[in-house]
Amino acid sequence: MSTPASRTPASRHHKRPRGEGQWALGYQEPLNKNEENKKNDDGLNVRQRIIDIYSKRGFDSIDPADLRGRMRWYGLYTQRKPGIDGGKTAILEPEELDDRYFMLRVRIDGGQLDLAQLRTIADISNEYGRGTADITDRQNIQLHWIEIESVPDIWERLEAVGLSTTEACGDTPRVIMGCPLAGIDTDEVLDATDQIGEVYDRVVGNPAYSNLPRKFKTALSGCPAHCTVHEINDVAFVGVVNEHGEAGYDVWVGGGLSTNPMLAKRLGVFVSPEKAADVHEGIVGIFRDYGYRRLRHRARIKFLVNDWGPEKFREILETEYLKETLPDGPAPELPRSNRRDHVGVYPQKDGNFYVGFTPKVGRVDGDKLHLIADIAERHGSGRVRTTVEQKMVVLDIAADQVDSIVAELEANDLQVNPSTFRRQTMACTGIEYCKLAIVETKATAMDLIDELERRLPDFREPLTINVNGCPNSCARIQVADIGLKGQLVVDENGDQVEGFQIHLGGSLGVNAGFGRKVRGLKTTAKALPDYVSRVVSNYDGQKKEGETFADWVQRADEADLK
């Protein structure tokens, strides 16, 4: 009989750490179906099959690996089949949820549009998308009801005016966000337009970066309002001025929300404008080579940054990718306002004015886009911008045209002086079109705005309300004052109905943090206006001088939050 000392306890057996699928560490073999599909064929190659085969033979000819995978590399997702309720979202197979129509996402890097581009999108919406058009919270425009047969003509039209859908989705470098006021803001640190263009030219559509572990979101801005929400991007370049008076960028990495929210971390470097594209390319390279590919839910760069820390990340960037040391640099100035948007009328640095206006939760249509183009042409130079708050801005308005453009926009329900609720409510696509959604969002948010304006007409404080149809946080629920995560709940009659889990007091900027979840705090969609008006009224009645909603939530009694 062996003695205890001669045995090897289980605790002494050290298992080899399980690989995370990092290419740089030798894990080249695909570890899941997504990685296998990408290894089998680059997503960029699907374009020619769409042109040569699928658009000619129709929906039924599409290879499933292309349909639910590679077509995303060109901004195409199948939309949700109508009539499937939210309780079936996680139960049905993808082919049961798929409709025969597509959402098509048009990239608008930096949010920059001219009249020809805006009118082209409007025409495509009306001719191929049943008039649909949604401005996203990443400055894109999404169309729906697109048939595969129409896609080559749509691409031809978009590309003729300098637009594209290339890598608008997929495991790729997504749209590059930028301040809509780049080059005209009277207080901007620097104009990032050239850097956005250079980053785009380096990485978008480049096979070297078309197989990333998952999506990769970039922001480049010199905006003093920090409108591109650098705290929650995979990488963000934020305008700063160093000790020598030189304008450049502070770099943040590893931000992201969804089911594992994390705030980005500063690398502490100062990047001159001419170096920005090099640094960005190096960071994308790190994500490609060291990013986690084994588990899909851990495949965002935020997990790598969280495990490494910013110091190691910077060291790898400098030694392995840039081959040079970057100088240290300052942190950005604090945002100039609690409202990090560009709604209203403000002067430009050239003496003209810009006018920011508010489509409800980003929903417009083809006719409305044509109207906006016509208004911009009549009163300005024709430059139009989208924002990361699902809003739009018209640039270059002469002083004697300001009153007339405001009147025309307002007459068409494009409000320039909106209520807080109209100005600061966002909503994702929701169950109307999205296969991941559990509840309806756009109409719910629109109805909520109308009801809050009726009930609380005198409320003026900044307050973000973000409505999401599932846990994935496309509408940034964790960093909203009131974040609403769609789920099914039980109503007073015991029936399962659409509703929301509530997150309270999330914020970015001065005291960035994620919303507070109060135990059991949920509401049905029907009771949502009652809940929001109640908690906003409690805040309005209890707030101290200068106290934000997020600050109040941290000290409020739970009873006042319910």
Residue 213 identity: P
Q: Are 305 and 313 in contact (CB under 8 A)?
A: yes
Q: What is the pTM of this model?
A: 0.95
What's residue 496's pLDDT? 95
Q: Which residues make beta-bridge pairs with 385?
A: 112, 393
Q: Tokens 């994390």: give the residue.
A: 262
Q: With the C-alpha atoms ordered 392, 398, 399, 403, is the resulting torsion angle positive or negative?
A: negative
Cα separation, 35 vs 509, whole angstroms? 36
Exposure pattern of 312-340 as b/e (b: 16+ CB <10 Å)?
A: ebbebbbeebbeeebeebeebeebeebbb
Quote the CA–CA distance of 379 and 377 in Å, as a whole number.
6
pLDDT 10s digits, 378-419? 999 999 999 999 999 999 999 999 999 999 999 999 999 999
The whole-number pLDDT of residue 9 equals 39
Q: Cα–Cα–Cα angle for 199, 200, 206, nearest 5°? A: 105
Type and span of the H or E element at 113: strand 112-113
- Type and span of the H or E element at 364: strand 363-365
What pLDDT is recorded for position 17?
Answer: 56
What is the structure's pLDDT at 401? Answer: 98
Statement: residue 14 has pLDDT above 50: no
pLDDT of 161: 98
Length of the chain: 562
Contact call for residues 189 and 247 (beta carbons, < 8 A): yes
Residue 267 phi, psi (nearest 5): -85, -15
Whether the pLDDT of residue 7 is over 70: the answer is no
Token readout for 388 is 């990361």
Q: How high is the pLDDT of residue 88? A: 94
Whether pLDDT at 2 is above 50? no
Question: Encoding tokens for residue 466?
Answer: 């973000």
Interatomic CA distance for residues 393 and 410, integer angstroms = 13
Q: What is the CATH number of domain 423-561?
A: 3.30.413.10
Compute the radius of gyration of the chain from its Cα atoms. Answer: 24
How many whole angstroms separate alpha carbon 420 and alpha carbon 398? 27
Averaged pLDDT, 97-104: 97
pLDDT of residue 105: 98
Helical residues (DSSP H) of 183-271, grouped into ranges: 193-203
* pLDDT exceeds cutoff 80 at 16: no
Q: Give me the mean pLDDT over the 160-184 stretch.
A: 98
Segment 51-77 shows an average pLDDT of 98
Contact 252, 265 (CB under 8 A): yes
For the chain, give the mean pLDDT: 95
Per-residue pLDDT, averaged over 65-94, amounts to 96
- The proportion of the chain whose per-residue pLDDT surpasses 90, expressed as a percent, equals 93
Pick the range with the lowest mean pLDDT from 166-180, 329-343, 482-496, 548-562.
Answer: 329-343
User: What are the pLDDT digits (tens) for 183-227?
Assistant: 999 999 999 999 999 999 999 999 999 999 999 999 999 999 999
Q: What percent of the chain has pLDDT over 70?
A: 97
